[in-house]
Amino acid sequence: MNAKIVGIGHYVPENIFTNNDLTQYMDTSDEWIQERTGIKERRYGTKHKETTTTMATKASTIALERAGLTAEDIDFIIFATLSPDFYFPGCGVLLQRELGITKTEIGALDIRNQCSGFIYGLSVADQFIKSGMYKNILLVGAEMHSMGLDFSTKGRGVTVIFGDGAGAAVLQASDNEEGILTTHLHSDGTHAEELACISPGSHGGIYHDEIDFGFEEQNKPGGIFVTKAMVQRDLLAPNMNGQLVFKTAVKKFPEVIMEALQATGLQSSNIDLFIPHQANLRIAKFVQKVLRLEDHQVFNNIQKYGNTTAASIPIAMSEAWEQGKLKSGDLLCLAAFGSGFTWGSALVRW
Ligand code: UT7
């Protein structure tokens, strides 16, 4: 059995936030952001009205409709996000509840692989379908970054890049040749803190001897994940060593794509559409050049949405499909790199 993507959908919040809008809060400029990242604007969910799960529900409903299925047909949910509604439980069960899947008591799995979360999810779904365990899997990548960013100048290196949104795919068992051809997953925890949000967490400062996280406070019930020390030291916002991430990404993207091509005996010239994780337009252009791909073989939409982490690939897939850029029989190449570091690739016969 092959895992075929039979429905894809996305949702982005209505609220557009331009680069100029950001200058009200921090010392930055439209010119800097466009030149370094390619981003012109991003979407932010409406606080107290939208969450990662509500956006995921909208994207999933569209994907299910396009697949010609109802929520009750789904056998398993996989949810990738770094910005969950709750610390726990994960968004998978919340999505199950929002979709009204009450009778079947299906499993729901949460994936924490940040930018490569969707590729990891695709690989997990592929294995479940190939093994015959499940027939229809709903895979979602969704993020509400705007609730957790630092909008002061201190946070500008991270904040200007990220946006909110959700994408969903329905994968179905198929006995045709089409579907997921291969997936390749990698990680290197050496650089875990180089792109991270280390608090809230149960670490208690053990990886960071120089920081006093306030152990007394942590020993109180309920004080394990967020302590006053974390708040006072401003440790609740994500941080990124942008240059290291950039340098590693431009090396790992081509490597992991070549691995997928070699595994299938295909070449980059066979790729009809390449959708890279939308981290930075400069990274995407660099990878395009290394793979010698023409502009029409690559799909980017970071200009409109910024980096939506786990949601970026399914949002781009859904848009590409809507624009007629993904046709039956096309060879689709997906690849991502990000926090962990984790990275991966997939080749899909559409
Ligand atoms: O999806 C997750 C994976 N993430 C990525 O793949 C991101 C990879 N990294 C990047 O995309 C780039 O490193 C960034 C876009 C994050 C930063 O671009 P950069 O060209 O590496 O800039 P930089 O961090 O080296 O900063 C250059 C200068 C610094 O000023 P000085 O020290 O030269 O005076 C920064 O303080 O730009 C300054 N700067 C800003 N200026 C205006 C940093 N952020 C901003 C900003 N607006 N938002």
**pTM for the whole thing?**
0.96
Give me ligand 1 centre to Cα 234, in Å: 20
Residue 141's Cα: distance from chain center in Å?
5
Query: What spacing in Å lies between the alpha carbon of 242 and ligand 1's midpoint?
Result: 6
Q: Using a 6 Å cutoff on CB, does residue 160 contact ligand 1?
A: yes
155 Cβ closer than 6 Å to some ligand 1 atom: no
- Kindly report the protein residue whose alpha carbon is nearest to atom 20 of ligand 1: 36
Instruction: For the beta carbon of residue 344, count every other beta carbon within 10 angstroms.
Output: 27
- Across the 350 residues of the chain, what is the mean pLDDT of every consecutive 10-residue run? 97 98 98 98 96 98 98 98 95 98 94 98 98 98 96 96 98 94 98 91 68 54 65 83 98 98 97 98 98 97 98 98 97 98 98
Residue nearest to atom 18 of ligand 1 (CA): 36
Whether residue 165 contacts residue 308, with contact meaning beta carbons closer than 8 Å, is answered with: yes
SS3 108: strand
Distance of alpha carbon 203 from its chain centroid, rounded? 24
Assigned CATH for 180-192+240-349: 3.40.47.10
- 2-176 CATH: 3.40.47.10
36 Cβ closer than 6 Å to some ligand 1 atom: yes
- Enumerate the CATH 3.40.47.10 domain ranges in the chain, comma separated: 2-176, 180-192+240-349
The residue written with tokens 């949405």 in the block is: 305
| Beta sheet of 2-11, edge-to-edge order | 2-11, 165-174, 136-143, 76-80, 107-111
Structure tokens at 23: 């200058």
DSSP 1: -
Report how far ligand 1's centroid is from the alpha carbon of 156 (Å): 8
Which residue has tokens 């899909």?
348
Report, as residue numbers or ranges, the catalytic residues: 115, 277, 307
**Protein residue with its CA nearest to atom 38 in ligand 1:** 157
Please indicate whether residue 156, judged by its CB atom, sits closer than 6 Å to ligand 1: yes
Identify the residue whose C-alpha is closest to ligand 1 atom 9.
242
In which residue are the tokens 């012109």 written? 40
Residue 325, classed as helix, strand or coil, is: coil
**What is the Cα–Cα distance from 278 to 27, expressed in whole angstroms?**
24
